[in-house]
Chains A and B, each alone.
Chain A
Amino acid sequence: MPCRPIHVNLEVDPGATQKILISLDKTCDANDEATWKMSFELQEGNPLATVVKLDVEIDPENHPQAEATAANSGLDDNHQGQAKIAAAIAKDPTVGDDDKKDAAQQVIAVKQIPAAAAPVNS
């Protein structure tokens, strides 16, 4: 299937003073190789102000999950739960940038994809 661009912006509102914005962007190069990038932004306070913003390139093994998330046009319960965890980690000053990005990437990685039918052995 040829690669085609997709851009999705999603929002999670855990409370009135907290908002998590997630952007998923799929771009295609001349060789039809897809690149998925995710932007994770945490806003807090009243009025809301950006506390953390992370840009993460989705690992190739998580591309199917990213595709499924974009195709379903929404965040399921797993996504939303992981988004809250990622927000908590992103705010923690003792956590390194790599771990913060990894936690953000997990928001997409937790997407449940139905397993392919197992091959029947003759």
Chain B
Amino acid sequence: MEAERRGMRIRKHPPSWIATAFLAACSTYASPGPCTNKSAAYDGFKILQVDLKNPIGFITPWGTLSNSLKKGLKLKVNSPFSLESFEQDSGFLSATLKANFASSQQTVKLSYAGGEILDCDPEAHTLRVVYPIFTSVVPSLIAPSIEEQTSESEHPGTTGATRVSERKLLVAPLAGYNQTRGTWGGLTFSDTIAKLRLHGESEASANSLTGHFDIGGSSRAVWRLWDHADWAGTFEYLSTPAGAARFKEGKISTRL
């Protein structure tokens, strides 16, 4: 009887005991949260993840710089966090982006590298490190035509969401809005094939279609006529509303 009573007690009490213990555990568990302390306070925390965050990286599925940049970082997954290395990594990313683009055929207008500490868990002493990077470039393969310069000045600043890749081929989306054309989207690309430099851009909206294609190259000295010559050809197409009428134009031009 006693054993049976004890057994009943055992059967009766464990569920409430487990529930109490579970609730107690839940109340003491601190989930990862924002890292509001100064960076040095996280020295020694275990790094669960190191990421490079590029807000428009997803649009270029090939040859991103992320992998090569990641290899040069001092902070690694599962290693302890250090403010000194965190600062050095951020500086390294900035210097590398700058150096990489300086030797490329694109003109850098802006490069940004920062550093963020996320998901700090004071109980488990863990965190995540994210380095936001962003670069806005414009292809400089061919000197811009007058039409291009005009077009460039008319575009809003948000248009230049051009991203660099490790290859010479560059493809990037364009988007913008103006009162005449409404919201428009398009694509820009540039590449070098042999000695030819190519650059094209096409944009479309509900009421307009524009595009241009440039091809350029250079030639060596021709006797005593010139030391070298640069040449370029441009095809441009415009179909945009102009008041009550519609402006349409197709144009081919060459320069030497």
Residues of A within 8 A of B (CB): 1-11, 13, 23, 25, 27-28, 30-32, 70, 73-74
Contacts of B112 in A (CB 8 A): 6-9, 70, 73
Contacts of B36 in A (CB 8 A): 1-2
Q: Does B5 contact A (CB under 8 A)?
A: no
Tell which of A7, A10, A70 touches B93, judged by Cβ atoms closer than 8 Å: A7
Contacts of B87 in A (CB 8 A): 5, 27-28
Q: Does B114 contact A (CB under 8 A)?
A: yes
Contacts of A10 in B (CB 8 A): 109-110
Number of A-B contacts (CB under 8 A): 76
Contact B39 A32 (CB under 8 A): yes
Contacts of B37 in A (CB 8 A): 2
Contact A3 B110 (CB under 8 A): no
Contact A7 B40 (CB under 8 A): no
Tell which of A1, A6, A74 touches B114, judged by Cβ atoms closer than 8 Å: A6
Of chain A, the residue at the smallest CB distance from B90 is: A5
Contact A4 B108 (CB under 8 A): no
Contact A7 B110 (CB under 8 A): no
Contact B90 A8 (CB under 8 A): no
Closest CB in chain A relative to B28 CB, distance in Å = 26
A5-B90, A8-B94, A8-B110 given; 6 more Cβ-contact pairs under 8 Å: A6-B113, A6-B115, A8-B113, A10-B109, A11-B109, A28-B38
Contact A9 B38 (CB under 8 A): no
Contacts of A25 in B (CB 8 A): 91, 94
Please report the C-alpha to C-alpha distance between residue A10 and residue B91 in the assembled complex, in whole angstroms.
15
Q: How large is the interface on B (under 10, 10 to 19, 20 to 34, 35 or more residues)?
A: 20 to 34
Please report the C-alpha to C-alpha distance between residue A3 and residue B117 in the assembled complex, in whole angstroms.
11
Tell which of B38, B94, B113, B136 touches A2, judged by Cβ atoms closer than 8 Å: B38
Q: Does B35 contact A (CB under 8 A)?
A: yes
Contact B115 A5 (CB under 8 A): yes
Closest CB in chain B relative to A107 CB, distance in Å = 15
Tell which of A9, A30, A32 touches B111, judged by Cβ atoms closer than 8 Å: A9
Contacts of A4 in B (CB 8 A): 39, 114-117
Q: What are 6 residue pairs bridging A and B, where the CB atoms are less than 8 Å apart in the complex?
A: A5-B114, A6-B112, A7-B112, A9-B112, A27-B87, A31-B38
Contacts of A32 in B (CB 8 A): 38-40
Please report the C-alpha to C-alpha distance between residue A8 and residue B135 in the assembled complex, in whole angstroms.
10
Contact B86 A5 (CB under 8 A): yes
Closest CB in chain B relative to A32 CB, distance in Å = 4
Closest CB in chain B relative to A67 CB, distance in Å = 12
Tell which of A28, A70, A74 touches B39, judged by Cβ atoms closer than 8 Å: A28
Contacts of A30 in B (CB 8 A): 38, 40, 83
Of chain A, the residue at the smallest CB distance from B131 is: A5
Contact A28 B83 (CB under 8 A): yes
Closest CB in chain B relative to A71 CB, distance in Å = 10
Please report the C-alpha to C-alpha distance between residue A1 and residue B117 in the assembled complex, in whole angstroms.
12
